[in-house]
């Protein structure tokens, strides 16, 4: 009789921070120099789908296939996740002899993203969250999302926040073993469900002409970084949690924009300087400023991760004023077709008014944006029966 192929599948979301993670106090454990906070985005639009499986019949080494390509799993980060999850499984097996010894079997993991990998969206957060959640399901671990966030953090720092839906914080913690550096849910998606996000994906040609050096260079060389980590972010974490609790978009938006600017300011203060914002990014900022000026209050908020793509948060009730304007300006770009995009009418009137203030910026956006993605706040990882590995242990392409 052939050995059993054990399988479990999940999907996990992307998250986009509104208080940024930048700087590690422990690079090995991915322990951050400051807390952070993100919005989990809907998996209908952006998700990683992962099947974890194990079997005594598998070749002896663990393997991972992402989007059809074999990945190296020998890296310390992936190994840390495998090791921690196996240890949790082994503790259960040690207490119950009737259980199959899954912790001793080789792992085979297959993963697929439903978004263009070329888009420059940080897919590692969804990837490691899905990997950890799928293996936890496979091992039938009773672990909470908090406990799993501690493990996912070791794969990719911001992955810990993708273990929860809605509005999610990551407490920096103080323990040297990282045991208290975990994610927590500030509020579920249902608390403030009308949060939308428009992502302006910048053309590859418009990307960084400068350094691609990382966050540890900032920690080592930026003279402004210390005050960001020690003073600015702790204050903003409180302001942001309050804004979310009170569903106060103006406060949410202002802190979001200021924190994005602060993060990129410390990148620029790095030596040599790190630039993620380009002229397209600046144009997106200008257009958001114009939208807010026209509205007389903050109804749109930009944020930028480590790249030129703008993520613009807004509330559903302001869709015409925000996404509608961008549809009028960028309607010919990919991404407007589908359930979310069809519902948005191009707002030519708002665009005409915006041109008075921001015609150069609007031209620059047209030139520099390659596609758009429409999404909104969403749920955490979702168990699925759709397997990417068949009964014989072979990868399936969906």
Our finding on whether 273 is near its own copies (CB under 8 A) is yes
Our finding on whether 98 is near its own copies (CB under 8 A) is no
Our finding on whether 264 is near its own copies (CB under 8 A) is yes
Contact with its own copies (CB under 8 A) among 187, 268, 295, 382:
268
Our finding on whether 99 is near its own copies (CB under 8 A) is no
CB of 207 to its own copies, least distance (A): 9
Between CA 116 and CA 368 the distance in angstroms is: 17
Chain-centre distance of CA 193, in angstroms? 18
Contact with its own copies (CB under 8 A) among 125, 134, 283, 350:
283
Residue placing its CB nearer to its own copies in the complex, 205 or 337: 205
Our finding on whether 261 is near its own copies (CB under 8 A) is yes
Candidate segments 9-17, 72-80, 219-227, 382-390, binder of its own copies by CB under 8 A? 219-227
Candidate segments 146-154, 217-225, 339-347, 388-396, binder of its own copies by CB under 8 A? 217-225
CB of 282 to its own copies, least distance (A): 5
Our finding on whether 282 is near its own copies (CB under 8 A) is yes
Our finding on whether 231 is near its own copies (CB under 8 A) is yes
Candidate segments 50-58, 86-94, 243-251, 359-367, binder of its own copies by CB under 8 A? 359-367
Contact with its own copies (CB under 8 A) among 68, 212, 220, 271:
271
CB of 172 to its own copies, least distance (A): 18
CB of 218 to its own copies, least distance (A): 11
Give Cα separations from 22 to 19, 227, 312 (angstroms).
Answer: 10, 13, 20
Candidate segments 157-165, 185-193, 221-229, 312-320, binder of its own copies by CB under 8 A? 221-229
CB of 71 to its own copies, least distance (A): 29
Residue placing its CB nearer to its own copies in the complex, 175 or 226: 226
Task: Give contact residues for its own copies (rule: CB under 8 A).
Answer: 209-211, 221-224, 226-228, 231-232, 235, 254, 257-258, 261-262, 264-266, 268-273, 275, 277-279, 282-283, 285-286, 289, 358, 360-361, 364
């Amino acid at each position: 009789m052939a050995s059993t192929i054990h399988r479990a599948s999940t999907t996990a979301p992307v998250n986009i921070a509104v208080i940024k993670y930048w700087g590690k106090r422990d690079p090995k454990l991915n322990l951050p120099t400051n807390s952070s906070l993100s919005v989990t985005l809907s998996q209908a639009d952006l998700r990683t789908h992962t099947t974890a499986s194990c079997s005594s019949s598998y070749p002896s080494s663990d393997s991972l296939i992402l989007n059809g390509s074999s990945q190296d799993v020998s890296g310390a980060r992936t190994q840390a996740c495998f090791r921690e999850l196996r240890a949790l499984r082994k503790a259960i097996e040690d207490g119950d002899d009737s259980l199959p010894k899954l912790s001793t079997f080789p792992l085979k993991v297959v993963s697929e993203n439903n978004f263009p990998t070329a888009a420059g969206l940080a897919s590692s957060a969804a990837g490691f969250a899905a990997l950890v959640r799928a293996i936890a399901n496979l091992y039938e671990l009773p672990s909470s999302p908090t406990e799993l966030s501690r493990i996912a953090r070791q794969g990719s720092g911001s992955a810990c926040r993708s273990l929860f839906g809605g509005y999610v914080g990551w407490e920096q913690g103080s323990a040297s073993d990282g045991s208290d550096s975990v994610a927590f849910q500030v509020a579920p998606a249902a608390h403030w469900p009308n949060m939308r996000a428009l992502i302006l994906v910048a053309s590859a040609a418009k990307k960084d002409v400068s350094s691609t050096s990382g966050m540890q260079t900032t920690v080592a060389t930026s003279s402004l970084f210390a005050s960001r980590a020690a003073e600015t972010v702790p204050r903003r974490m409180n302001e942001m949690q309050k804004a979310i609790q009170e569903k106060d978009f103006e406060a949410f938006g202002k802190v979001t924009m200021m924190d994005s600017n602060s993060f990129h300011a410390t990148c620029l203060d790095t030596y040599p300087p790190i630039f993620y914002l380009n002229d397209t990014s600046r144009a997106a900022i200008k257009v958001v400023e114009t939208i807010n000026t026209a509205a007389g209050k903050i109804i749109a908020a930009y944020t930028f991760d480590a790249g030129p793509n703008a993520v613009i948060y807004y509330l559903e009730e302001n869709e015409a004023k925000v996404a509608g304007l961008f549809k009028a300006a960028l309607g010919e770009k990919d991404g407007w077709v589908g359930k979310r995009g069809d519902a948005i009418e191009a707002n030519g009137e708002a665009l005409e008014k915006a041109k008075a203030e921001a015609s150069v910026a609007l031209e620059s956006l047209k030139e520099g944006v390659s596609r758009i993605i429409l999404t909104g706040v969403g749920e955490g990882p979702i168990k699925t029966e759709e397997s990417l590995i068949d009964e014989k242990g072979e990868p399936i392409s969906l």
